Amino acid sequence: MSGQIPGMKQPDLSSLPQIRDRMTFIYLEHCDINRRDSAITVTDKKGVVYIPAASISVLLFGPGTNVTHRAMELIGDSGVTIVWCGEHGVRYYASGQPLTHRSALLVQQAKMVSHQRMHLDVARKMYQLRFPDEDVSKLTMQQLRGREGSRIRRVYQKSSKQWHVPWSGRTYDPENFEAGDAVNKALSMGNACLYGLAHAVIAALGCSPGLGFVHVGHDASFVYDIADLYKAEITIPVAFEAAGTNPIDLERTVRHRVRDEMVKAHILERMVHDIQWLLQDPDHPVPLKKAVYLWDNKAGLVDNGKQYRDDEEASSP
């Protein structure tokens, strides 16, 4: 038996397309997922579709999806995030992470989430992104949540009035998706797409999806934190528009409209920028360009890839 395993050579991370240059997400269900050369193949009763692996940020796998080991090999080598979810993308089950060689942001995230003052500072910065015209630097978490609640209620009411869609609150049953009204279904579908993109960006930057600042205690807490920054701009208006126009295929309409609006608003690029900004300590900025450093208890980070001498050796003639 030959020791050679067929498949494309694993690329260097520097050769992969930047996350900002990729598609947003693709939702798949009731199909077989395989690969051919450097393309992912999706096969269902209608035929076969080829998807260039390096052009995808995230694949959402719904019910009835069967994926081969060869496809996962390509997906992993290409740095694509996989999210396994329920029907219509409503429930998040698990995810596969893309490769990353950088831990600077992860270390900074862990430091900030573990330090009470820094934790609150990041939460305030998140709300500052929501309230750019207000000074929230002195507000407590209770005050921040109160303002956010009032703001979101106004967004719901405005969208309800604009699209003539009755609104009685955000209610849905994860165990019975069909029991919800059209606008709540649309909100769940749109939010699932936004969560998928946020998860892909977080993983691509080497951060932890579970270390959140506003949301805590869930393995996707940071995903919810980041997605919440854009819901009022993207998923809420799209959901009410879709519910108001009553399309034949609500799910497809919402997914396409969310995708188009995220592209138009450059949400993917903004997520990259916003996450880096949120996790930057202005007093101790984290270097992001280089992947590997050595730790020194006095000097902090020092260069990797060079030979160091101890003090005695350095002082000897």
Q: Binding-site residues for Mn(2+), please?
A: 148, 215, 228
Map tokens 């996962």 to a residue: 72
Q: What is the Cα–Cα distance from 61 to 72, expressed in whole angstroms?
A: 12
Q: Which amino acid is at 42?
A: V
Q: Which amino acid is at 190?
A: G
CA dihedral in degrees (113, 119, 125, 131; nearest 10)?
A: 120
3-state secondary structure of 276: helix
Asked if 204 contacts 98 with a C-beta cutoff of 8 angstroms, the reply is yes
Q: What is the Cα–Cα distance from 202 to 278, expressed in whole angstroms?
A: 12
3-state secondary structure of 202: helix
The set of residues, in sequence order, having a beta carbon less than 8 Å from that of 257 and lying 6+ positions away, is 190, 238, 241, 242
Q: Which of 114, 112, 100 is nearest to 284 (CA)?
A: 112
The two most distant CA atoms of the chain are separated, in Å, by 85
Q: What is the Cα–Cα distance from 232 to 251, expressed in whole angstroms?
A: 19
Q: Which of 200, 228, 201, 222 is nearest to 210 (CA)?
A: 222
Instruction: Mark the binding-site residues, compressed into ranges.
Output: 148, 215, 228
Q: What is the Cα–Cα distance from 11 to 277, expressed in whole angstroms?
A: 29
Tokens of 304: 């990797």
Q: Which of 192, 200, 205, 263 is nearest to 231 (CA)?
A: 192
